[in-house]
């Protein structure tokens, strides 16, 4: 019963995240008006706003103007439900579960806004500080240490923020154009603050590795061209997701392999 509730609740949250993804970049309220078709402004009835099921029943089209509904809506809903399931499996019904799904839901919004508009809104980064505060308070109780406790998060924010800033400035010097947006720099600093310096480095390494592999594949398939700007936020989000789930195990395996 717990798992069934988690899945349904995850789908419902995913539906709300779709509203945020569409409206926030446009400066619209995420509360009013009711959900509507972006093409003809037809206001959806209750049965037309059921996550996943309504998409299937409507055949992926608006019930009024028959405009095709983007598959992104159903992808976000299913992805959010999957995140809820994995976090429930990792943490159970605990405070860590609530904080992790809250944080990762915000990262889903950031990811798809960056994919659609190549921007990372400052207001979303600020909202991410709410779950971050919980993490910092917990780690502050672990005692002082120059590379542990709350200082680990401060080093992570400074290290990743300055590191990404340097990459951006160096890339701009070499290629004579912007290669790393300030949104990515601030996002990286936030990730360092959330995860601490060790896991922050791991998340950024996963981001760069996954971005490199995917770009090589897309280049070979002709989907992107050299010099084309590609949003990096989604790869950072992937790094955070993987690190939250398996970061400790990956770091332990790496250190064991190294030494």
Tens of pLDDT, residues 18-37:
999 999 999 999 988 888 88
Is residue 217's pLDDT more than 70?
yes
Tens of pLDDT, residues 219-253:
888 888 777 788 999 999 999 999 999 999 998 88
Identify the weakest region by mean pLDDT among 74-78, 139-143, 204-208: 139-143
175 vs 147 pLDDT, higher one: 175
Tell me the C-alpha distance between 196 and 163, whole Å: 14
Q: 127 and 87, same structural domain? A: no
Kindly state whether residue 192 falls inside one of the protein's structural domains.
yes
Kindly state whether residue 101 falls inside one of the protein's structural domains.
no
Kindly state whether residue 59 falls inside one of the protein's structural domains.
yes
pLDDT of residue 246: 94
DSSP H helices in the chain: 2-23, 53-57, 72-91, 95-117, 122-127, 129-140, 149-175, 182-221, 233-258
For 126, the token pair is 């600020």
Give the residue numbers spanning the domain of 3: 1-93
pLDDT of residue 175: 76
Instruction: Give the total number of structural domains in the chain.
Output: 2
Is residue 143's pLDDT more than 80?
no
Question: For the residues 52-77, what does the mean pLDDT come to?
Answer: 93
Q: 223 and 156, same structural domain? A: yes
Is residue 142's pLDDT more than 80?
no
Whether the full predicted model's pTM is greater than 0.85, yes or no, is yes
Kindly state whether residue 108 falls inside one of the protein's structural domains.
no
Instruction: Indicate the length of the chain as a whole number.
Output: 259
Counting Cβ atoms within 10 Å, is residue 252 exposed (0-12), middle (13-18) or buried (19+)?
exposed
């Amino acid at each position: 019963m717990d798992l069934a509730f988690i899945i349904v609740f995850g789908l419902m949250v995913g539906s709300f995240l779709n509203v945020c993804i569409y409206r926030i970049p446009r400066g619209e309220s995420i509360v009013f008006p009711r959900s509507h078709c972006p093409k003809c402004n037809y206001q959806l009835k209750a049965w037309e706003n059921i996550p996943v099921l309504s998409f299937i029943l409507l055949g992926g089209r608006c019930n009024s103007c028959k405009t095709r509904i983007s598959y992104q809506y159903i992808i976000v809903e299913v992805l959010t439900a999957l995140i809820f399931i994995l976090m429930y499996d990792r943490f159970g019904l605990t405070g860590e579960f609530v904080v992790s799904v809250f944080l990762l839901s915000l990262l889903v919004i950031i990811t798809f806004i960056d994919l659609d508009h190549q921007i990372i809104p400052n207001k979303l980064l600020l909202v991410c500080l709410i779950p971050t505060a919980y993490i910092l308070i917990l780690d502050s109780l672990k005692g002082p240490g120059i590379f542990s406790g709350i200082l680990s998060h401060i080093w992570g924010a400074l290290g990743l923020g300055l590191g990404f800033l340097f990459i951006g400035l160096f890339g701009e010097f070499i290629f004579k154009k912007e290669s790393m947006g300030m949104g990515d720099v601030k996002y990286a600093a936030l990730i360092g603050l959330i995860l601490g310096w060790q896991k922050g480095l791991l998340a950024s390494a996963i981001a760069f590795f996954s971005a490199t592999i995917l770009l090589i594949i897309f280049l070979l398939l002709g989907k992107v061209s050299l010099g084309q700007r590609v949003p990096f936020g989604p790869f950072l989000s992937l790094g955070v997701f993987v690190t939250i789930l398996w970061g400790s195990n990956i770091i332990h395996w790496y250190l064991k392999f190294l030494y």
